[in-house]
Amino acid sequence: MITERIREVIAQHGRLAVDVSTLSDTDDLYRAGLTSHGSVNLMLALEDAFGVEFPERLLRRQTFASVAAIRDAIEELHAELNV
């Protein structure tokens, strides 16, 4: 599932202060310790993991604020690729 894969990538690259498994899909990743630098590393890892490239319009804090927000962005990018 996409959510589980996102959580794996966050665990490996997000450098959170807490275990991502303790967070809900809507919990704020920045409050959990995600930094600006960490969000860049996370974005690059997500691009590799899901075969997408985040366009400039999605390069904002809200895109990476939660597991749910990341999932929504990736699903949107996959939908655009299938058009």
The pLDDT tens digits for 16-36 are: 999 999 999 999 999 999 999
The pLDDT tens digits for 28-82 are: 999 999 999 999 999 999 999 999 999 999 999 999 999 999 999 999 999 998 8
Q: What is the pTM of this model?
A: 0.95
Beta carbons within 8 Å of 12's beta carbon, 6+ residues apart: 45
pLDDT of 82 reads 84
| Contact status, residue 6 vs residue 67, Cβ threshold 8 Å | yes
Topology of domain 2-81, per CATH? Answer: 1.10.1200
Ranges of each domain in the chain: 2-81
Q: 18 is written with which tokens? A: 């807490």
| Contact status, residue 32 vs residue 23, Cβ threshold 8 Å | yes
